[in-house]
Amino acid sequence: MRTTLNISDSVIAETQALYDTENRSNAVEKALKDAIRYKKLQKLMSLKGKLAFDEKYLEEQRRAEVNESEHNS
């Protein structure tokens, strides 16, 4: 999709240098993907200590996955 953005030349140049690309579009896309990943990680980290897990159930699931992968090998 073609989009017009007003971004300063210095920001574009720095982004291209950080992502080691000559292509402005690739640099901007990589930077946006990193920003999205970072924000998602921040949201996930904000849940730390707020979620409770059934540790026994998780361990049973892990064992089942290991057993299944051993049988399929």
Residue 3 lies in a domain: no
Q: Give residue 53's domain range.
A: 9-72
pLDDT value of position 20:
97
Residue 1 lies in a domain: no
Global pTM value:
0.65
pLDDT value of position 31:
98
Residue 48 lies in a domain: yes
Instruction: Give residue 23's region: left, alpha or beta (phi > 0; psi -120 to 50).
Output: beta
Number of domains in the chain: 1
Q: Per-residue DSSP letters for 19-30?
A: TT-S-HHHHHHH
pLDDT, tens digit only, all 73 positions of the chain: 889 999 999 999 999 999 999 999 999 999 999 999 999 999 999 998 888 888 999 999 999 998 888 877 6
Residue 31 lies in a domain: yes
CA 37/CA 31 separation, integer angstroms: 10
Residue 2 lies in a domain: no
Residue 26 lies in a domain: yes
